[in-house]
Chain A
């Protein structure tokens, strides 16, 4: 196997649910040795969230957990116990990075504040992922996918003007916070490796959205510049063709308005009706009457073809366009197959299952699947014996609920 970019990087992972594990997953998938510490009773809460394998609710069959924790080793440890703290401090001695997603203040109360844990290891990097950051009036408040997008992001401007604001799908925002945290960790680790300076990274999920270039960044600066507040509703306006059109087997989306109009005409095979000069006057692109006429004409065309036919015909003529895919169609699409995006993962509780794979390609140091997500406490014996504990010690720790 090729060397991975983060081979040798040692990460202690104290995160739960989605954002934190998404961060450490990226590190683990590109080669870091991530030791995930779970509480002995029940472990990571994500184990109790679906989808479950064959819909069987079971802590070792959560697809969410299995996806988020590939390539990590899993141990259990009660950090509130005296011995648990001692063991944690031993683990820290060899660590490069700690990632945690507790509520602000919890690490301090455990005696694990950044200032304390760096005494023995000043090069240590710590990433703290929290809802609103480590300080400020909301630091103890709860946060959800909806709130991240509503308070940090631009949800107030998403959806129909007459209806309630609408989020993105599933929990995409929390995953993104995890990616931001991974990038913060990587930058901190780079500095630590070559400057010898440890740093504490403070990731506020709210702020990852307030600084997001999904439109929020732009609308915040636009407001500063000119006082304009972005309203909810479609921005498609009078452009044509622009938007989603029904076709023979579903829907098709295209954005060939304004200067790109002629590309849509080529896609349709240059029908004589669309060669009329009225379509090419300077005023034509914003004319609602022409838009109505064109859209009716275009829909007649799209209804005769499948979304894939339209995709290919549209791309042939350089249109910005795409088929409206359901999840199964994405999973079967030949492009992602040829690029090897989806990968098969063999997990002891499920057998082989196809997961979404690497987010990007690194030519010399590729993403690799070294192991599936850990069962609860799967690597206790391995990790604790490496620290010098005997089998009897480990059995005693298990008996007293430390692990």
Chain B
């Protein structure tokens, strides 16, 4: 895998990450050539990483198992969990229990021959394990240590418990989303903080590698969900700073575009987004819709359209309901109006644009089978195909990492198997 023409080839990342943001960062680095070695333990099961449970019970509600291939957890459910596998390509996995002294020694030997250590626990977890930047520097002086947390590595909330759901309301995003006519407390479960932190961590790591190559100096990187997402809301923070205004939610509406919203189309729960910013776009809309009301004085200019926004939305919706969502997009885009269908999973996999661009990629793995997965976040010229291997299985690369990377073989390897460090299945006590 090392002779491929990829920008991050030759970089080795020790990946201790769990759940979402950390593994997402690892995927980006692996996609572009880094050797990302997941360090996992068969003695501990981090929740919501390789599943909710390691071995889901057979009589659990079907909704809980619905994500597994064919709804079956299978013999090794941890290699079949969709969330993990969605981010599992191109990575390696080794197992070692770093809560034990001999496991910590193995970990240090790996750090010694690596460029980056990546983790995303609450900071006190690494404190308790004794994994600090100081310690890592002693093992490898130019190491880059990337810590990802909810509130950061300093400050009064350093060790506060959080997930994106709570961070989302704490950093103010909760107050500027939600339906405009509700008190905006009952919101969709979707949260976008994890992708923000994951992508920025990849940026920070590559930037730090660049600095290290120029100066020989490693460094500590401190990322957190809250501060990686606040820079996505400058309109609200700047309005507060400049005008003392505390913005609330506009729902789907926009300060400039009108109409701006999601409108129901023909079919079961089908929708399009329409946003009209300019008079030219409004004229394009009128050419397509060409019903009596579009020529009404109430909608003749943007000020009138804003004043009569409720009624305008109702009329736009009455037109879209008669049409297919894709048809609405093509008709209006040809006239220069920003319109697009809301795609569910079925439509996304069939979408002509994603298809034409080869966005979905085939990945194979022994336990999960062969499927189409969402591909890269961006395309790069002159690189080989994205998928070098499918979603990594637990402990799949133990032999390679122990034997070839660490030089641990023979009796020493066997002993680590016996003492529960090396394996490809979780220990029997793990449920």
CB distance from A197 to the nearest CB of B (A): 7
Q: Which of A7-56 contact B (CB under 8 A)?
A: 26, 30, 49-55
Report yes or no: B273 in contact with A150, Cβ–Cβ below 8 A: yes
Q: Which of B165-208 contact A (CB under 8 A)?
A: 165-167, 169-179, 185-192, 194-196, 198-204, 206-208
CB distance from B313 to the nearest CB of A (A): 10
Cβ of B107 within 8 Å of any chain A Cβ, yes or no, is: no
Task: Mark A354-396 against chain B: 1 for CB-CB distance below 8 A, else 0.
Answer: 1110111111110000000000000000000000000000000
Chain B minimum-CB-distance residue to A195: B7
Cβ of B352 within 8 Å of any chain A Cβ, yes or no, is: yes
Report yes or no: B207 in contact with A176, Cβ–Cβ below 8 A: no
Report Cα–Cα, A215/B190, bound state, in Å. 6
Report Cα–Cα, A234/B187, bound state, in Å. 8
Cβ of B377 within 8 Å of any chain A Cβ, yes or no, is: yes
Chain A minimum-CB-distance residue to B34: A187
Q: Which of A213-237 contact B (CB under 8 A)?
A: 213-226, 228-230, 232, 234-236
Cβ of B410 within 8 Å of any chain A Cβ, yes or no, is: no
Cβ of B246 within 8 Å of any chain A Cβ, yes or no, is: yes
Q: Which of B140-163 contact A (CB under 8 A)?
A: 151-157, 160-163
Cβ of B32 within 8 Å of any chain A Cβ, yes or no, is: yes
Main secondary structure of the interface of B (DSSP, over half): mixed
Of A81-89, A270-278, A296-304, A315-323, the one touching chain B: A315-323
Report yes or no: A331 in contact with B152, Cβ–Cβ below 8 A: no
Report yes or no: A318 in contact with B161, Cβ–Cβ below 8 A: yes
Instruction: Tell which of A50, A225, A243, A326 touches B371, judged by Cβ atoms closer than 8 Å.
Output: A225
CB distance from B231 to the nearest CB of A (A): 5
Report yes or no: B189 in contact with A181, Cβ–Cβ below 8 A: no
Report Cα–Cα, A242/B345, bound state, in Å. 27
Report Cα–Cα, A327/B172, bound state, in Å. 5
> Given contacts A210-B354, A213-B198, A350-B242, is CB(A26)–CB(B203) below 8 Å?
yes
Interface centre among A55, A63, A166, A200 (most CB of B within 10 A): A166
Main secondary structure of the interface of A (DSSP, over half): mixed
> Given contacts A143-B338, A187-B8, A320-B163, is CB(A221)–CB(B85) below 8 Å?
yes
CB distance from A8 to the nearest CB of B (A): 9
User: Residues of B within 8 Å of A, CB-based: how many?
Assistant: 153
Cβ of B271 within 8 Å of any chain A Cβ, yes or no, is: yes
Query: Using Cβ atoms and an 8 Å threshold, which residues of chain A touch B189?
Result: 215, 234-236
Query: Using Cβ atoms and an 8 Å threshold, which residues of chain A touch B229?
Result: 172
Report Cα–Cα, A257/B429, bound state, in Å. 24
Of A71-79, A287-295, A334-342, the one touching chain B: A334-342
Report yes or no: A324 in contact with B185, Cβ–Cβ below 8 A: yes
Cβ of B364 within 8 Å of any chain A Cβ, yes or no, is: no
Cβ of A1 within 8 Å of any chain B Cβ, yes or no, is: no
Query: Using Cβ atoms and an 8 Å threshold, which residues of chain A touch B177?
Result: 166-169
Chain B minimum-CB-distance residue to A165: B262
Report Cα–Cα, A255/B161, bound state, in Å. 10
Task: Mark B353-371 against chain A: 1 for CB-CB distance below 8 A, else 0.
Answer: 1101101000000001001
Report yes or no: A64 in contact with B234, Cβ–Cβ below 8 A: yes
User: Residues of A within 8 Å of B, CB-based: how many?
Assistant: 142
Query: Using Cβ atoms and an 8 Å threshold, which residues of chain B touch A255?
Result: 163, 165-166
Query: Using Cβ atoms and an 8 Å threshold, which residues of chain A touch B235?
Result: 50-51, 63-64, 170-171
Task: Mark A189-216 against chain B: 1 for CB-CB distance below 8 A, else 0.
Answer: 1110111010111111011101111111
Cβ of A147 within 8 Å of any chain B Cβ, yes or no, is: yes
Instruction: Tell which of B82, B238, B381 touches A225, judged by Cβ atoms closer than 8 Å.
Output: B82
Instruction: Tell which of B152, B175, B257 touches A326, judged by Cβ atoms closer than 8 Å.
Output: B175
Cβ of A328 within 8 Å of any chain B Cβ, yes or no, is: yes
Query: Using Cβ atoms and an 8 Å threshold, which residues of chain B touch A218?
Result: 67, 82-83, 86
Q: Which of B215-247 contact A (CB under 8 A)?
A: 217, 219-224, 226-243, 245-247
Report yes or no: A327 in contact with B213, Cβ–Cβ below 8 A: no
Task: Mark B60-98 against chain A: 1 for CB-CB distance below 8 A, else 0.
Answer: 000000111111000000001011011100000000000
Task: Mark A255-275 against chain B: 1 for CB-CB distance below 8 A, else 0.
Answer: 100000000000000000000
Cβ of B376 within 8 Å of any chain A Cβ, yes or no, is: yes
Query: Using Cβ atoms and an 8 Å threshold, which residues of chain A touch B226?
Result: 336
Report yes or no: A315 in contact with B176, Cβ–Cβ below 8 A: no
Q: Which of B237-268 contact A (CB under 8 A)?
A: 237-243, 245-249, 251-252, 254-257, 260-264
Report Cα–Cα, A225/B426, bound state, in Å. 23
Task: Given A186-B210, A214-B194, A217-B374, output 19 extra A-B contacts at Cβ < 8 Å.
Answer: A5-B210, A133-B357, A150-B340, A151-B343, A157-B344, A166-B179, A175-B232, A188-B380, A201-B381, A204-B357, A210-B354, A229-B344, A232-B188, A255-B166, A353-B238, A356-B237, A359-B231, A360-B227, A361-B153
- A to B CB contacts below 8 Å, 6 in the list: A114-B381, A142-B336, A183-B28, A183-B206, A361-B223, A364-B211
- For the complex of A and B, 4 pairs with smallest distance between CB atoms: A191-B7, A63-B238, A169-B176, A223-B345
